[in-house]
Chain A
């Protein structure tokens, strides 16, 4: 037993270190050596925490944290890195990938020729003979084409046997990689399945000077703004990913398309996130209290039926809701019209569009809130109620003085989490209103139901240069900072950190 107690932590920490080394290597590959190293240090630190008797509780935590580090923190780090680059449409390849691709580009020299070819093999080795359009057959020797015969490919050549036509293409993987250098910088390469052709390499990269030479025009192309650029300013596509420093942040701050509607969008976002979270949890708690009644008949069936909205993937229910709430032919308006003679302009007027968002998100969200509240209600010891009953407290007094306070401490952090989730609830906004109706007094892409994240992603992904991941990453970081600040502030105010509730 004691042996086990000493061996177990050692074994455990060794495993963690091994996993750490492995993932550090991978992360080093993806994000750069520094991040790999940092990740290794973190796992190494974890393994120390496991070994040290005083930090014993970490043995319970490390597996979860390790998973989290790999699949959650690492993507965040990656996003932060992207924010300082121009990654996006036109700039998705690395510089070395672009150079590799450009160096593959060729042009046809004036004396270009297409040659038919025949393959000859001798054991594992192969040779190629070429035939030009006038029937001359050449071998390639010492960077030169040497005429050997005319008209027909010989069946044997320098001890090599010809590969019959029907078997020719089984060598295709080999053939594709053949490249015969000739004099004057040109070379012969497979151009299609039946021909070799004469090419010249167009672009040559000179690492010492970090320039690309265009052999066709004899221009020097220098890397500038994520492109290799000709002296006349013309950019060579594709561009490459490049570090741009704070440029994305500056672009956001300076852009009047962002600053003009910012305050409005921001206020609505807060209102939305707080409002929908409170609404969902109030309704969820209310239903949970109803369902928690032992004497209620059919409560099992009710509970199951009420979680159905949760069981249908949100993207389909949202599409259904869009149809139901249609102003002209939607079912909801037709019912309202036949009952009260009114038609509500659901997605046409700001106020109604917002009401629709709250209602639909309530539909989507209350089953979750109800389930969580049901679970949390179980954690309240029964004897508290019993003693309250003895003291003659009414149901509502019990609710106010026992249920709500205890429940809030349990689900308080979840409220913050749900608030954050709705703060960034791109899906609901995007699928239900897509931010519409548009603001009519300011000219901007922002709609009146756009929240911060949906609006700024519009800028990044529907902006003037395709998909601007660099900008989107920058936005993610800024939104993250905003929401984290709000949440920490919330937490600090409500004193949740100091709380260590125990009932004894």
Chain B
């Protein structure tokens, strides 16, 4: 057995074959939800030019790491469908082609926040196709009218919380979901400058941020938020009809529908008259700078990827808030899309620079200490920000 194996190894030495990216053919990696729509949407291009387009399914979480390992060896795809917060890492690795070839009249069709999200150091590196942001998802059977202010949220949630029913919960130790409390009264992650974000100007412990987080702590004092709640518990309670309201995103709607919950989506309530501004995530197409097909890709990107038709096609199998204004208008008759769209309109693009790494981990820890009552908001936040700055500065050296 072993000898046969070895001998066949030697024979195969002679017949060598090379893998590698294929010139003259476009390869796209995307996650499951977009495969069907993309295959449909590229058909006119394939017919027009006779150039093949292959759409490969790669799971969402694998696309970035696999692209980073394979692109430098020339094994990578021509295009990936990814999230804008990958951008910084991919750009500083030199793996993305700047999108400087799209005409201005095409760019003008996109919602500005999506272009901002897809830019790094002032240059555009991705063609946005959709965006998402969290909003207030509520159970209509428990709460007929969603609260529009923080005070009414407290009142409604408090009266509902009893006997195994909860008024308002969410994954509060996750900075992503708690960011709206920071942003409502003036907190920000990195200061925006004309040259992009300034990673050394962090506004997560400023007056507004601390005030906002105190509002979050108050929800514990009122007995609304409970210890130990995380994403899993929030969603399973909601789909069992035991939760009145949660902060969550459009990805959860499908599950809620399957659980037959009579739900509604509303904007996050206002704090002191100011909107809670969630992080906006933008998905889009990014082009491999080491692709052998750059000329083809430029035409493909202009004619297909940035088109209204493509976005609408993708919407059919995977409803999302579309990035092109003219496409969004078409689909905004869907009430969920409209509500999440309104929430995103208030939002702030999630920072896409690699310095975001320590922010996630330190702010997660700070929130854990604050919500478990081990530290006061101002103390924990100031310490966390000092540590984030320290980590960023050490890495820069």
Contact = CB atoms under 8 A, between A and B. Distances in A.
B224 to A, nearest CB: 12
Nearest to B45: A193
Contacts of B17: none
A466 B357 contact: yes
Given A92-B93, A438-B368, A440-B375, A462 B228 contact: no
A443 B386 CA distance: 10
Interface residues of B, number: 64
Contacts of A169: 49-51
A327 interface: yes
Contact of B298 (A191, A345, A458): A191
A458 B361 contact: yes
A398 interface: no
B295 A346 contact: no
Interface stretch (B5-13, B278-286, B313-321): B5-13
B67 to A, nearest CB: 11
A173 B2 CA distance: 43
A38 to B, nearest CB: 22
Interface in A283-310: none
A50 B255 CA distance: 62
A323 B296 contact: no
B266 to A, nearest CB: 24
Contacts of A462: 357-358, 360-361
A464 B361 contact: no
Interface stretch (B132-140, B175-183, B330-338, B387-395): B387-395
A149 interface: no
A465 B302 contact: no
Contacts of B6: 15, 19
B223 to A, nearest CB: 12
A98 B94 contact: yes
Residue from A239, A346, A463 whose CB has the most chain B CB atoms within 10 Å: A463
Chain A's interface size range is: 35 or more
Interface in B42-80: 49-51, 68, 72
A370 interface: no
A440 B2 CA distance: 58
B368 A89 contact: no
A255 B394 contact: yes
A191 B299 CA distance: 9
Residue from A101, A175, A238 whose CB has the most chain B CB atoms within 10 Å: A238
Contacts of B362: 445
28 contacts: A89-B89, A89-B354, A93-B94, A101-B289, A101-B290, A172-B24, A176-B296, A191-B295, A192-B296, A238-B94, A257-B390, A323-B236, A327-B228, A328-B229, A345-B227, A346-B228, A437-B368, A438-B369, A440-B375, A443-B386, A443-B387, A445-B361, A463-B391, A465-B354, A466-B89, A466-B92, A466-B354, A467-B89
Given A319-B232, A437-B372, 5 more contacts: A90-B354, A91-B93, A93-B72, A193-B298, A465-B355
The 8 closest A-B pairs by CB, nearest first: A238-B94, A327-B228, A464-B395, A465-B395, A466-B354, A193-B299, A173-B24, A464-B392
